[in-house]
Structure 1
Amino acid sequence: MNELEPKRPDSALWDELRLSTQARIGLGRTGDSLPTRRVLEFRSAHAAARDAVHMPLEVEKFAADVEKVGVGAPVVVTSKATSRAEYLRRPDLGRTPDDLSSIDKGDFDLGFVLSDGLSPRALMDHGSSMLEALVAELSDTYSIAPPVIATEARVALGDHIAEAMGVRTVVVLIGERPGLSVADSLGIYLTHLPAPGKSDADRNCISNIHPPEGLGYQQSAKIVAGLISGARKLGRSGVALKDTSRAEALESSEALTIE
């Protein structure tokens, strides 16, 4: 080996580093190419991401799981996108409701919209469990409308649904765009005083929910609870509202350590 050529860390070091990240690092090489194992891993991850986007939501099964949470039988609605292919080509249609007449309007503090988004798999894997954690965290403090399941849905569809529900704050659970590391990540978008025409600047987002590697359900629910409390005090959500839950947890931990 040329003395000027940097030494390669051994495989044990890379194995240890991989425990701290889902990034593809230290892949090695065989001649001028990646090892066959790494190529196959990449192709498998790519296929899983594509499948997560295109798989249909099993609406009946998912609705049964949602109903077990105990906040009412869910209503199922859809956007103006008439197929998965059209949904992917026309994001504008995914933001526009087709027919919301099946939703009974009430007077509630909170409404939950469970949307397939770009990963129906994520909603199937995590949606009902995440909703259960949210209800456990919030039901003693706020009135909750019966949930709505939205198919071929983008985030902004939740504003139209929230108006039909009659809620002061809407929490949209939606499948996030799959990546090569995670194909079943769930996101939560919170909008206070929702109405059609709200922009992304009016929302707060909690991303990367997919335990055990990503955020857990209880942790995410506590963040949502903090954001809802802050939004009600501030009178709005979005860029003016910050998540302080991690800072508060750190301060509490430091105080316990000092004591």
Structure 2
Amino acid sequence: MSELWDALRLRTAARIGLGRTGDSLPTTRVLEFAAAHAAARDAVHQPLDADALASEVDRVGLGTPVVVTSQAGDRSEYLRRPDLGRAPADLSGLCEVDADVGFVLADGLSPIALSEHASGLLTALRDVLDHKYSLAPPVIATQARVALGDHIGAAQKVGTLIVIIGERPGLSVADSVGIYLTHLPRPGRADSERNCISNIHPPGGLGYADAARVCAALIEGARQLGRSGVDLKDNSRAITEGD
């Protein structure tokens, strides 16, 4: 039976077939759980090094990023007051760019995930979008929720906004990012007016190139439909198969 569980564990990050030692779990499994819990807590509470990320993002070649913050003063307030994370403190440093696509890199609930994946994912997005659309310089947002991007996108006057944000860490993955796409961003957009691409964390999750391909298909669909959200479906697989 142990050989069966060993084979299955290679195919999932879930905790399965943990075994028993008397009335409890084996010590190794207990320690693994404690380590995963600690990693998830660290991912939530560790603040983003915005300067270091800005230096990496600058090398992607989309322009020098501007750093903005929400009305949440620190991580503690950010976690207690989601409403403050959705509102900007000051956007006076942003310029109107009138670009087809804008990018916001938001720390969200896992600044560690954004630090690890932002530049790689942004590079993949640049590679698939640059020949078709005008791209705005990226904006780095700290203590940020997804809806903060609506204010940023409206200030920049971009057609479609891509928010890359650190996702809520779990006990199997603490460094996953998601993409939230909003067409014609403006303050007050509902979550039903967005599309999400989740679980981006290679090599264990969705890869950068695949996420960028799906995102490109959603952007094209949003521009044709005139909106994003529940009416917009991912047709990237159909496009690939048609090619």
Query: Which TM-score applies when normalising by structure 2?
Result: 0.98
CA drift of 1:106 comes to 1.8
Instruction: Name the CA distance, whole Å, in 2 between partners of 1:29 and 1:246.
Output: 43
Q: Is 2:97 the partner of 1:106?
A: yes
Whole-angstrom distance in 2 between the partners of 1:21 and 1:248: 29
Shift in Å, 1:252: 4.7
Could you say which residue in structure 2 is the equivalent of 1:131?
122
Q: CA deviation at 1:246?
A: 2.8
Name the larger-Rg structure: 1
Letter paired with 2:87: T
**Is 1:38 the equivalent of 2:41?**
no
CA positional deviation for 1:20: 1.3
2:75 to 84, 92, 97: 84
What count of residue pairs does the alignment treat as equivalent? Answer: 243
Distance 2:179 2:74 in 1: 24
Equivalence for 1:48: 39
Q: How many percent of aligned residue pairs carry the same amino acid?
A: 67
1:218 lines up with 2:209 in the alignment: yes
Match of 1:147 among 128, 138, 145: 138
Q: Which runs of 5+ in 2 are unaligned?
A: none
RMSD: 1.0
Which runs of structure 2 are paired with 1:139-178 in the superposition (5 Å)? 139-178=130-169
3-state SS of paired residue (1:167):
coil
Distance 1:232 1:104 in 2: 23
Aligned mates of 1:54, 1:117 — CA distance in 2: 10
- Output the amino acid matched with 2:166: G
Cα drift, residue 181 of structure 1: 0.3
Unpaired segments of 5 or more residues in structure 1? 1-9, 254-259
Secondary structure at the counterpart of residue 189 of structure 1: strand
SS in structure 1 of the partner of residue 204 of structure 2: coil
Distance 1:44 1:147 in 2: 34
Report the Cα distance in structure 2 between the residues aligned to 1:116 and 1:81, rounded to whole angstroms.
13
Aligned position for 2:189: 198
TM-score where L is the length of structure 1:
0.92
- After the TM superposition, which parts of structure 1 deviate over 3 Å for at least 4 consecutive aligned residues? none
Q: Which secondary structure does the structure 1 equivalent of 2:101 belong to?
A: strand
Q: 2:224, 2:237 → 1: CA distance?
A: 19
What is the rounded CA distance, in whole Å, between the counterparts of 2:136 and 2:27 in structure 1? 52
- 3-state secondary structure, aligned to 1:143: coil
